[in-house]
Copies of this chain bind each other. A is one copy, B any other.
């Protein structure tokens, strides 16, 4: 199966092989060695010297962890939303009693850093700004560097909580250089590992907020994670197999280096966009902010998405993902992060070129070859 979802992504053979390793005990020296190495490598790729933890949960669990470890009920929070995952950030913060103001930008566009600054200027009492680096639902990458700089300019002490789930490990996100406070990603994205682990970095500023935070937390408690990581452990039994896999994947990623990883994702994203447009299709996202990990494409007339989804799987061995929420049926999304090559994209474009006309779509003449 040519799995071209923006997560889970296919995993390299040696990563899958590591998944099949027999169990070791999670409080043994053997596990301490692995978690130590994994944590160090992740810090390199997060470009941070801060604490960093691996939590056994999905990315959504990591988003919840950011909220409950730094905030108290009633805290004012500005959530910058450009899609489903920005909205989810707001919902989580509200669920735990934060006083949430959401600033929305049209789906398919990026957040305007000046608008974020203005929102902060209107009211200086925000405790935190929550922002999505790469919005998986729309295929848009925010200019996080500019947003972070705008926040720091207007309200230097505000916490920056960043959903970098589908960017980190694929799109540059230098945590310390951009002065981000809590930054989360998930194993099934650029990291080339099956889902089940989330990784979060926690700045000094975030630790101060943790000390004051009154939201209830237990499973996701960063203080416990820190206490146990000092012993080479996790507070609760971790998803050991995923640590094996991440250990293998990180060796490859660290060897490739951040510049190499970022350049590869750029190159393959360019190829995807060129391929999609060669079929006469339109991107959902504004060209100035298109994502290098996922491309969202408008479903063209007269295609019914459900039929295309099924046909691609049944006869082209290719899975692409549909739209979420209000975009369901209106867009499809091609994932191109993690273990992805030019050939995977060529196969995907060829599958679309084959399937679309069978459902009544007229290919442009230039795509006929």
Known: A16-B21, A25-B3. A195 touches B237 (CB 8 A): yes
Residue A217 CB within 8 A of the other chain: yes
List of B residues within 8 angstroms of A56 by Cβ:
56-58, 61, 195-196
Check if B22 sits within 8 Å of A16, measured CB to CB: yes
Distance between A93 CB and nearest chain B CB, rounded to angstroms = 10
Residues of B within 8 A of A21 (CB): 16
Separation of A240 and B145 alpha carbons in the complex (Å): 34
| Contacts A57-B57, A194-B240 given; does A218 touch B92 at CB 8 Å | yes
A236 within 8 A of B: yes
Interface residue ranges of A43-63 to B (CB < 8 Å): 56-61
Interface residues of A in 238-276 (CB under 8 A from B): 238-242
Interface size on A, residues (CB 8 A): 53
Is A17 an interface position by the 8 A CB rule? yes
Query: Which of B8, B26, B92 interacts with A23 by CB under 8 Å?
Result: B8
* Residues from chain B with Cβ under 8 Å of A188 in the complex: 23, 237
Check A196–B239 contact: CB distance below 8 A.
Answer: yes
Report Cα–Cα, A147/B28, bound state, in Å.
36
Is A24's beta carbon under 8 Å from chain B?
yes
Please tell me if the beta carbons of B237 and A7 are within 8 angstroms of each other in the complex: yes
- The 8 A CB mask of A195-224 against B (1 = contact, 0 = none) is 110000000000000000001111100000
In the complex, A135 has a CB within 8 A of chain B? no
Within 8 A of B (CB), among A11-29: 11, 16-17, 19-28
* B20 and A16 form a contact (CB under 8 A): yes
Contact A57 B16 (CB under 8 A): no
How far is A101 from B88 in the complex, measured between Cα atoms in Å? 36
Closest 9 CB pairs of A and B: A196-B239, A20-B20, A60-B236, A58-B236, A8-B23, A19-B19, A16-B20, A61-B219, A194-B241
